[in-house]
């Protein structure tokens, strides 16, 4: 069982979440008010947030960032009627761990919720080592589940962290999308497109603090590889 905070302006959708997740033993706190949701996050142990981005009096994606500031380790799932790639990429870049498009299948929703909760439990249970992993300018901070680049703390979503960890553990090797899905999406059904979206957001966050080229290389038709960029030749 888990305690879930559901935020949506549509009361019917909230009732649906309460019913669907309640049949699996989860306790759902529904609210249409973002301020009430923020208060609950600070006063109650919340294990998962399900958030509709079309919110009254509040930008949903900005609210997602506020959740991350309160508790960076609480999984966040966004639900939305928007299914354009730009919206999905922006949501995953900002803070979301997963994204589901309305109307959704209750079975799909439950499967995604279970996968997010399992990963959260694994991480809380000490799946990550105590020591940080460092390659070149990038240090993977397992304590904060983020990255440190040239003294800058880079906040990552849980999924971005898992992908970066998989790539760094296999530095120098090309990992196919299928291999990344197996390594970084434990117990979760995803598509190859989801891998590309996650990599896109991850590279963008890292590149903002790197002094040179990208550490994550895309090899068309093969997959991705983590490797230190080669130094540029200096012309005399």
pLDDT by residue (tens digit) across 158-179?
Answer: 889 989 988 998 888 889 998 8
The pTM (predicted TM-score) of the whole model is: 0.57
pLDDT at residue 55 greater than cutoff 70: no
Residue with tokens 């009096």: 57
Calculate the alpha carbon distances from 185 to 32, 111, 178, 182 in Å. 31, 13, 10, 6
Equal fold, 3-124 vs 133-226: no
13-33 pLDDT, tens digit per residue, is: 999 999 999 998 899 999 999
- Give the model's pLDDT for residue 125: 47
Backbone φ and ψ for 157, nearest 5 degrees, come out as: -70, 165
113-160 pLDDT, tens digit per residue, is: 988 887 776 555 444 454 578 899 999 887 777 899 998 999 888 889
> What is the average per-residue pLDDT within 37-41?
87
Superfamily of domain 3-124: Response regulator (3.40.50.2300)
> What is the average per-residue pLDDT within 1-10?
89
Residue with tokens 């249970």: 125
Tell me the domain boundaries of the chain: 3-124, 133-226
| Percent of all residues in the chain with a pLDDT value above 70, rounded to a whole number | 88
Q: Which residue has the higher pLDDT, 127 or 218?
A: 218
CATH number of 133-226: 1.10.10.10
- Give the model's pLDDT for residue 66: 82
- Give the model's pLDDT for residue 126: 47
């Amino acid at each position: 069982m888990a305690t879930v905070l559901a935020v949506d302006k549509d009361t019917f959708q909230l009732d649906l979440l309460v019913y669907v997740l309640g049949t699996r033993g989860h306790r759902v706190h529904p609210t249409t008010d973002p301020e009430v949701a923020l208060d609950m996050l600070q006063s109650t142990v919340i294990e998962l947030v399900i958030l509709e981005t079309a919110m009254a009096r509040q930008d949903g994606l900005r609210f997602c960032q506020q959740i991350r500031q309160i508790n960076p380790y609480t999984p966040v799932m966004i639900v939305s009627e928007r299914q354009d790639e730009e919206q999905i990429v922006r949501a995953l870049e900002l803070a979301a761990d997963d994204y589901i498009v309305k109307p959704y299948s209750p079975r799909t929703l439950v499967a995604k919720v279970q996968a997010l909760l399992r990963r959260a439990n694994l991480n809380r249970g000490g799946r990550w080592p105590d020591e940080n992993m460092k390659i070149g300018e990038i240090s993977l901070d397992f304590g904060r589940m983020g990255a440190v680049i040239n003294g800058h703390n880079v906040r990552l979503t849980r999924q971005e962290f898992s992908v970066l960890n998989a790539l760094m553990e296999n530095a120098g090797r090309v990992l196919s999308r299928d291999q990344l899905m197996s390594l970084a999406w434990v117990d979760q059904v995803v598509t190859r497109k989801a891998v590309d979206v996650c990599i896109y957001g991850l590279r963008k966050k890292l590149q903002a603090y790197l002094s040179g080229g990208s550490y994550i290389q895309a090899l068309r038709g093969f997959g991705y590889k983590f490797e230190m960029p080669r130094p540029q030749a200096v012309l005399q």
